Structure 1
């Protein structure tokens, strides 16, 4: 993705996170990106193309964080539980929390199952690598729990992720 397209996709993500899909217009994205009027339209001709750009950018962010967290593959179930807790903290902090809010908004408009399945497949492989019984089922359990933790942290005022609690719950779910 060119620098300009990347800049506009990032701005579109911020527009969706801050105002929902109804706020997503080419003009709003131009203003958010600080680029001349018409720039967003030149890069992403339709509103649907803008929505897809946001979804693609979210997938890139998730992939980059997952890659960072697994740069040294976990060797134990405890390390996997710590990885889950770290991912939960990341998704609910700073700019990533903004991306998480955008993801929630997009889920009402787009089918994000392909992106979710890619992350789930990667997580299943990590679990198989540490010897978890039935890695696909364990991955689904942990992902469902993680989704709930993240949802509550970004939608309920003053709710934060307790990493120790998430780590313990993830360990229990993966040990089943």
Structure 2
């Protein structure tokens, strides 16, 4: 992805994650990125193109986080996976909260726009291509179903923590419980 395009999309994610979808305009992104007016429009002619670009960038950022998560994990170590994933979730509800809020804004919009819902489905398939083998390496008997449950748990944990900042947030307890159940 070109540097300027990445700069614009990162600014769009910040707009989306701090102000919501209604405020995601070409002008707002230009201002957030510190670029001359019209810069975003030159790269993304329509709002749909901008939203699609934001979704692609979110997938890139979040997939990168998942890859970094798995890079140092010993194969088959559910306890290490739980600890690292817990750390990631704490980051995503702290410094990384804008990314999660931007993704959730797109998810809500997808409920009303079938094309966006379809694009989110494609993005989820990309994540599954990476995550299902990871679940298999942990010994989960049905890795696809297990990964789906893990994603659902993660989304629930994130949304609850973002909606109500609980100082005792302990994602490892829920993740560990799920993995123990999946592993039998």
Please indicate, yes or no, whether the TM-score normalized by the shorter chain is above 0.5. Answer: yes
Alignment size in residue pairs: 174
Kindly state the Cα deviation for residue 47 of structure 1 after the two structures are TM-superposed. 0.8
Paired residue secondary structure (1:107): helix
Question: Which segments of 5 or more consecutive residues in structure 2 lack a partner in the other structure?
Answer: 110-115
Match in the other structure for 1:175 = 183
Following the alignment from structure 1 to structure 2, what is the Cα–Cα distance between the partners of residues 173 and 146?
Answer: 16
Structure-to-structure mapping, 1:16-165, within 5 angstroms: 16-75=16-75, 76-94=77-95, 96-109=96-109, 110-111=116-117, 112-156=120-164, 158-159=165-166, 161-165=169-173
Residues 93-131 of structure 1 show CA distances to partners (whole Å, capped at 9, x for unaligned) of 21x210100000001222212212222332210121232
Tell me if the contact between 1:26 and 1:41 (Cα under 8 Å) persists in the aligned partners.
yes
Question: Which segments of 5 or more consecutive residues in structure 1 lack a partner in the other structure?
Answer: none
Paired residue secondary structure (1:131): coil
Match in the other structure for 2:112 = none
> What is the RMSD computed on CA atoms of the aligned residues?
1.8
Residues 45-85 of structure 1 show CA distances to partners (whole Å, capped at 9, x for unaligned) of 11111111111111011111111111134322222322332
Kindly state the Cα deviation for residue 3 of structure 1 after the two structures are TM-superposed. 1.2
Instruction: Provide TM-score, normalisation by structure 2.
Output: 0.85
Instruction: Provide TM-score, normalisation by structure 1.
Output: 0.89
